[in-house]
Amino acid sequence: MASAEKSGFTRRSLLGIFAASAVVAAPTYSHAFGLLRGAGDIRRIKMYSGRTGESLDTIYWVEGEYIPEVMDEITHFMRDWRTNETKVIDPRTVDIIAAAHSLMDVSEPYMLLSGYRCPKTNAMLRESSRGVARNSLHMKGQAADLRLKSRSVGQMAKAAEACAAGGVGRYPRSNFVHMDCGPLRHWGG
C-alpha cells in the first residue's frame, strides 16, 4: 500500500477507482456519476480563482437534482475573467471535476486557471500558445483547467481518467490538468 500512498491515492479512493472501472456503461458519463453516487445524496465542488480572488465551496446537487441557483453561481465563478463574459457551464463538466476531486480524497480546493473562454480570449491565447484548440470546449462551457498544490499533474490526470467521462489533458510544464465533458480521450505528458 506504500506505493498508493506515494501516488497520493488512499486505499478508499483506489477502491473507488476499481469499482468505477468495473462499471460497464452507456452513456459515457455514468462513470463520473457513479463515482459520485457513493458520496451520498449530495455533490460538492470546491475551487478558488487566483485571477479574481474568489472562492467557491458549495453543494450543487442534492437528491438527484442540480440546484439551479448554485449552477448559476458556478457559471459566474467560471466566467472568462478577462472579459467578465459567462456561458452556462455544462453540469457534466462539474460532475467530472467533483468526481476526480473525490477520488483524490483531498480537502484542498482546486485552483481554477480557466473555465469558460469567450472566442476573443481563445483566439488571443491561440496566438501565444500552440496548446490551445481552435474550437476549444472552453468556449462551450464544457472544460476547465485546474491545479492542486497537494497533487501532481499525473495524480490529477489519473483521477480524472478514472472517471472515464471526457477529455483529460496533462500539462506538466504549466502544472495543470484540463478536464472536459467532450469525447473520451487523453493527451499530454
Which band of pLDDT confidence, cut at 50, 70 and 90, is reported for residue 135? confident
What percentage of residues in the chain have a pLDDT greater than 70? 79
pLDDT in tens, 58-95: 999 998 899 999 999 999 999 999 999 999 999 999 99
What is 109-162 written as a DSSP string?
A: PEEEEES---HHHHHHHHHH-TTS-TT-GGGGT-EEEEE-SSS-HHHHHHHHHH
Which band of pLDDT confidence, cut at 50, 70 and 90, is reported for residue 112? very high
For residues 5-11, average pLDDT? 48
For residues 5-16, average pLDDT? 46
pLDDT in tens, 136-179: 999 999 999 999 999 999 999 999 999 999 999 999 999 999 99
Where do runs of H (alpha helix) occur along the chain? 2-7, 11-21, 30-37, 68-77, 91-104, 119-128, 153-162
Neighbours of 161 (CB within 10 A): 20
Out of 3.30.420.10, 3.50.30.10, 3.40.1260.10, 3.30.1380.10, the CATH code matching 2-187 is 3.30.1380.10
Beta partners for 185?
Answer: 167
Angstrom distance (rounded) from CA 85 to CA 55 = 18
Is pLDDT at 22 greater than 90 in this prediction?
no
Separation in Å, CA 22 to CA 93, 107, 164, 168: 22, 26, 11, 20
Domain edges within the chain: 2-187
Angstrom distance (rounded) from CA 68 to CA 125 = 31
Quick one: pLDDT at residue 128? 83
Quick one: pLDDT at residue 132? 79
Give, as one character, the DSSP assignment of residue 189: -
Which band of pLDDT confidence, cut at 50, 70 and 90, is reported for residue 107? very high
Quick one: pLDDT at residue 154? 97
For residues 93-100, average pLDDT? 96
Q: What is the pTM of this model?
A: 0.78
Strand order across the beta sheet in which 185-187 lies: 65-66, 55-62, 42-48, 110-114, 143-147, 176-180, 167-171, 185-187
Neighbours of 107 (CB within 10 A): 7
Whose grid coordinates read 477529455? 167
Judge whether 142 and 180 are in contact, CB under 8 Å.
Answer: yes
